[in-house]
A and B are shown apart, each in its own frame.
Chain A
Amino acid sequence: MRKEWDVIVVGGGPAGLAAALACSERGIPQENIVILERDRQLGGILQQCIHHGFGLHLFGEELTGPEYAQRFIDRVQDSSIVCKTDTMVLEITNQREVVAVNAQDGLMVLSGKAIILAMGCRERTRGALNIPGTRPAGVYTAGCAQRLVNMEGYMPGKEIVILGSGDIGLIMARRLTWEGAKVKLVCELMPYSSGLTRNIVQCLEDNDIPLRFEHTVVQIHGKSRVEGVTIARVDGDRKPIPSTFEYIPCDTLLLSVGLLPENELTEAAGIQMDSRTKGAMVDQHRQCSVEGIFACGNVLHVHDLVDNVSMEAQTAGIAAADYIMQDRKPEGITVSVQNGSGVSYTVPQRIVPGDEDVDIYLRTRGVFKPATLTIQAGDKTLLQKKKSVMTPGEMEKVTLPAEKLQDIAGTITVSVIGG
């Protein structure tokens, strides 16, 4: 295995594939780009997301996950981009070295002129929630159950309770029902779902599955296998109310309680992190605090639409190619993007003012109906945008024209208020 590369892409999911293709289209020779993927195949988590609804923005049609992935895989495999599957990256250094291992090549130390981080995210587990009780078999994350049912051909159980009403939990409620299981209940801690309304209607209501808001699982029962769970209503501080405890017999508990960007490699490389996104701090080109290292997709912040992942990866891929070809150094002046009231995070976190307009992505803190988004530099309002609704479940995008960014010193603030 060659040591020197122009671009090393870590992760062969939707972000990694789109980033590698963008590098090539921008002029990096294909044979100088390598994708390192730990799974047996390319495509990442899309391969197990067999439901449809992907690609509406990018392709104007509703594809299934594998179909969406295949469009990118075909383009990569028709090119001379090098793909190494079954290959685990162990370490990335701030000198742009990548330590990886596989059964064919053994331990490798690769060196890249640019590195693109596209490792995706993983699910929060029971350990992250600290649910009391015994530790029987039958507690799965929703994504793990999804892989078992859709790709490996195993059913995780027969009588199922789902904690969390994120989209993966809702999709799995329908999937398991269609495969003959009884999904008894979906519990959601919050008074609203973070999942799409369409999934609430088509996955739960179509199949008569009850959804209980402001409810959580307070205990798991069973010795070798789950025998039941105790659920409870929570109060305004999200604390369980003892008088509402209710025992539900079941053999399986699925957890759909959030995703975390997978950034052990990023942190070990000494890259500056954002505690809000749990991803790297980046500029509008998705360049991290370490020069020549870029990040995109769910490893940077958890997206709701894969279309946005692909588009962000394209931004990162183009920037990585430009970095190599123009030997661009980080500019002196940067504008930091802060979140004001009603905003939980923004990407990018800093902007290098230039000739191009800058897209800022953000999530709101709570539901605003209607909503007004404002970008300010000190007392000066740079931009205002009104929308009929903004919710935490839907990432918002706002474009800041390049001329607005001239003569800005220091900081801009993005805020959202109701009305």
Chain B
Amino acid sequence: MVSQKEFVCTVCPVGCRLTVSQAEDGEIVVRGNTCKRGARYGRDEFVDPQRTVTSSVWVEGGDLPLVSVRTQGSVSKAKIPEVLQALKRCKVCAPVHVGDVIIPHVAGTDTNVVATRNVRKK
């Protein structure tokens, strides 16, 4: 066995304790799960955990000071600090609409940061 990690499954409220291990031939084995979705979750968490990042960025000339944003898809957990850095530097001009792309391909990923609310011009 090359490596082994433990997770609590978050797919449903049961919260199975998963043990995921990778053998030397690269095969990944999930144990402790009680359903198929749990096996997939354990595998994803082991190989490359994905997260959705949500935040707010400053708006110039809007009726509100901030607009809430999200990554359209999920990004690799390891990329989160870079995504947050990009968001920190970001400032947009009103008006903003739900779904507007705020940062395309954030932090070199293939996902966009989009607005999740409307902010009108002041």
Residues of chain A touching chain B, judged by Cβ–Cβ distance below 8 Å, are: 47, 50-52, 62-67, 70, 149-153, 178-179, 196-198, 200-202, 206, 369, 388-389, 391, 393-394
Give every chain A residue within 8 A of B9 (Cβ-Cβ): 197
Give every chain A residue within 8 A of B65 (Cβ-Cβ): 151-153
A206 to B116, CA, bound (A): 24
A70 to B77, CA, bound (A): 28
Known: A70-B117, A150-B68, A197-B15. A178 touches B56 (CB 8 A): no
Q: List 6 A-B contacts (CB under 8 A).
A: A47-B117, A66-B98, A70-B118, A178-B53, A178-B55, A198-B10
Smallest CB–CB gap between B14 and chain A, Å?
A: 5
Determine whether the beta carbon of B10 is less than 8 Å from that of A50.
Answer: no
From the candidates B15, B68, B77, B118, name the one contacting A64 in the complex (CB within 8 A).
B68
Chain B residue at smallest Cβ distance from A63: B116
Determine whether the beta carbon of B13 is less than 8 Å from that of A50.
Answer: no
A149 to B68, CA, bound (A): 11
A63 to B34, CA, bound (A): 28
From the candidates A52, A65, A66, A197, name the one contacting B52 in the complex (CB within 8 A).
A52
Give the bracket for the number of chain B residues in contact with chain A: 20 to 34
A178 to B88, CA, bound (A): 10
Give every chain A residue within 8 A of B15 (Cβ-Cβ): 197, 389
B93 at the interface (CB under 8 A from A): no
Give every chain B residue within 8 A of A153 (Cβ-Cβ): 56, 58, 65-66
Determine whether the beta carbon of B56 is less than 8 Å from that of A67.
Answer: no
Chain B residue at smallest Cβ distance from A43: B117
Determine whether the beta carbon of B8 is less than 8 Å from that of A197.
Answer: yes
Determine whether the beta carbon of B52 is less than 8 Å from that of A50.
Answer: no
- Chain B 40-61 interface mask (CB, 8 Å, partner A; 1/0): 0000000000011111101000
Determine whether the beta carbon of B117 is less than 8 Å from that of A201.
Answer: no
Smallest CB–CB gap between B102 and chain A, Å?
A: 13
Smallest CB–CB gap between A419 and chain B, Å?
A: 16
Known: A50-B68, A150-B66, A394-B13. A66 touches B55 (CB 8 A): no
A206 to B98, CA, bound (A): 28
Known interface pairs A65-B68, A70-B118, A201-B8; 10 further A-B residue pairs with C-beta atoms within 8 A, sorted by A's residue number: A50-B68, A63-B116, A64-B54, A150-B68, A151-B66, A151-B68, A153-B66, A200-B8, A206-B51, A391-B13
Smallest CB–CB gap between B113 and chain A, Å?
A: 12
